[in-house]
Amino acid sequence: MKQQKRRFMFLLAMVFAVSALLSACGGNGGGKDASGAKNANTGSNAAVNSANSGGDQAGPDISQEVKLKMLLVGGKPADYDEVFGELNKLLKEKINATVETEFLDWADWTQKYPLKFAANEDFDIVYTANWAFYNDQARKGGFLELTEDMLKTYMPKTWEAMPAVSWDQAKVDGKLYMVPNNNMEVTDKVVIIREDLRKKYNLEPINSPETYAAYVKAVGANEKGMSAFGAKPADGWKWHELDQALLEQQNEWNLIDYSFPLAYKLTDEKGQLFNVYDTPEFRELLTYYKDLADNKGWSKNIVSNKNDVWQDMKAGKVGSYAQTLGTVGANLAELRRDKPEYEGAIVDLTPDKKKIASISTQNGMAIHATSKNAERSLMLIDLLQNDKEIHDLTMYGIAGKHYEPVGDDRFSAGPSAANYTGFSNWGWNSPLNRKDASYPVEADEILKDWEPKVHHFALETFVFDDSKVKNEVSNVGNVMLRYAIPLEYGLIDDLDKGQAELIKQLNSAGIGKIQEELQSQIDAFLAAQQ
């Protein structure tokens, strides 16, 4: 009896202890994080200050070994341990540090990425990009501000190699939070088609919207079980996937942000905004799309699609899809390797139009605002981007295993290339990048052909601060998903009525207010440049 009582008291005590512990965790979490953040901030500032005062004589102090933590986007490569083990040996030697990487898988990175900041997890370096929360997190205080002194002190090689304009493009409200990649890309979309099918139906080479329509209709009419055009699974993208080519590039417009339909003409130095849905060009394009949809150009269920479009194309279920040149170039190389019976080709539907180069924030690396090792982190990024040995290792893996170096600037895939790929090491793209020797020559030629057509313009680096019109942006996005997408994919029969309804809904969602706010920011941006 006595023993039983004692056992009960013990249990009760345990329960109370555990509950006290748990509730303490829950209650203090926020406070602890906040104070931790403050400390880390002052810590790194102090470190930077001391480095500034004493940096000239001795260079950065690396006597203390540190462990860095890096966040990258993408699946963890199978041979991560091997490659990063090798990397850590080099890092230990060069900057007395090692790095550990956490991968946010493609499937749910958009949800996890902001949470890492919201929960203020412990990490030092993080991949970021204009399409991966850069402006958003910079404004929310997720990244450490990088000063010119820091860059000069801790990443001298990058400071030397990076064009000044790339730094400028990465600034948010005049402050820099990112070490952008150093690599020019063109953002224009092209289309990958099945060249064997084009030849089978004796069609003209595709180089315009009309010749492409002929291809889509021929494939739709004759190839059973195949969609002539395919789109990625609906993930909230608010446009027809040919819009970038057929609406934006074709008319030489530039959409500020794909979350709402406001654009200006590339040639317009004043950057006068207009609603793209309310233009005759859009109305014409709707007729074009409707014609394709009615001729079995794509599946009636394209907006509910759940399959990966490229895999479907490889499986012979899709006849074409649109993406950036880099992606379809890699696709084409893959097709030639895996499916030699299909012949692929890259086609540009708007070959003579002006091209837009991606700005430097297309890829980049940033330092977490609460990192305790900001200096060493910057040194690491410096090495990743501009140290030939480390750059080769982290971009392509181990020579002879994951890749074979071809000369100094090319490579071919090694026997286990598939075990080291698929994540955002593009964050440190640089002139040291090697080109895939199997990368299709056509793709290179298209790029070469584009280079003189690249158009630079005053608003290239303009970034919209949407904090005053967030409600409107959210609501406009909803209207686009609900009214624009079905209209563009030809699922609504009366185009005039559909377009009128779309415009009406956009107006009541507050597109006018966004336009006003955006125009005033553009005007201010242009005025400041003169």
Partner 1 sequence: MRGHGFWSDVKKYRTLLLMLVPGVLFFLLFAYIPMAGIVLAFKQFNYSGGIFGSPWNGMDNFRFFFESGDAWRVTRNTALYNIAFIVVNNLLQIFAAILLFEVAGKWFRKITQTVMFLPYFISWVVVGAIAYNLFNYDVGTINVLLNKIGMESIDIYNTAAYWPVILVLVSAWKALGYGTIMYLAAITSIDTEMYEAAEIDGANIFQRIRKITIPNLMPTIIILVLLAIGNIFRGDFGMFYNMVGNNGLLFSSTDVIDTFVFRSLITSNEIGMSAAAGFYQSVLGFATIMLANYAVRKYDKDHALF
Cα(49)–Cα(39) distance, integer angstroms: 15
Longest dimension (CA), the chain: 96
Q: How many angstroms separate the CA atoms of 315 and 334, rounded?
A: 13
Residue of 17, 23, 200, 400 that binds partner 1 (CB under 8 A): 23
Binding mask 152-191 for partner 1 (x = CB under 8 A): ----------------------------------------
- Of 89-97, 211-219, 230-238, 342-350, the window that binds partner 1 (rule: CB under 8 A) is 230-238
- 512 contributes a contact to partner 1 by CB under 8 A: no
**235 lines the binding site for partner 1 (CB under 8 A):** yes
Residues 373-392 that bind partner 1 (CB under 8 A): none
Binding of partner 1 at residue 21 (CB under 8 A)? no
Residue entry with tokens 């690491």: 380
Exposure string for 390-401, b = 16+ CB within 10 A, e = fewer: bbbbbbbbbeeb
Among the candidate windows 165-173, 178-186, 389-397, 476-484, which touches partner 1 by CB under 8 A? 476-484
Q: Which residue has the tokens 């005039």?
A: 496
Which residue lies nearer to partner 1 by CB, 296 or 391?
296
**Cα angle: 510, vertex 489, 318; to 5 degrees:** 135
Phi–psi pair at 97, nearest 5 degrees: -145, 160
Q: Which is nearer to partner 1, 316 or 477 (CB)?
A: 477
Binding mask 102-121 for partner 1 (x = CB under 8 A): --------xx--x--xx-x-
Pick the binder of partner 1 from 13, 17, 21, 22 (CB under 8 A): 22
User: Binders of partner 1 among 284-343, rule CB under 8 A?
Assistant: 299-301, 303-304, 306
Nearer Cβ to partner 1 (399/500): 500
Burial letters 217-253, b for 16+ CB under 10 A, else e: bbbbeebeebbbbbbbeeeeebbbbbbbbbbbbbbbb
Q: Which is nearer to partner 1, 133 or 420 (CB)?
A: 133
Judged by CB under 8 A, the residue of 42, 272, 478, 529 near partner 1 is 478
Nearest to 513 by CA among 465, 464, 463, 469: 469
* Distance, CA of 376 to CA of 60 (rounded, Å): 9
| Cβ count near 499 (within 10 Å) | 19
Q: Give dist(CA 147, CA 149) in Å, integer.
A: 5
Looking at 378, 485, 503, 518, which residue binds partner 1 (CB under 8 A)?
Answer: 485
Q: In angstroms, what is the C-alpha Rg of the chain?
A: 26
- CA 74 – CA 500 distance, rounded (Å): 41
Mask for 136-155, x = binds partner 1 (CB under 8 A): xx--xxx-------------
The CB-of-30 to partner 1 minimum distance in angstroms stands at 5
Kindly list the residues in this chain that would bind partner 1 in the complex (CB under 8 A).
8, 11-12, 15, 19, 22-23, 26-27, 30-31, 33-34, 37, 110-111, 114, 117-118, 120, 133, 136-137, 140-142, 225, 234-236, 259, 299-301, 303-304, 306, 369, 466, 470-471, 473-475, 477-478, 481-486, 491, 508-510
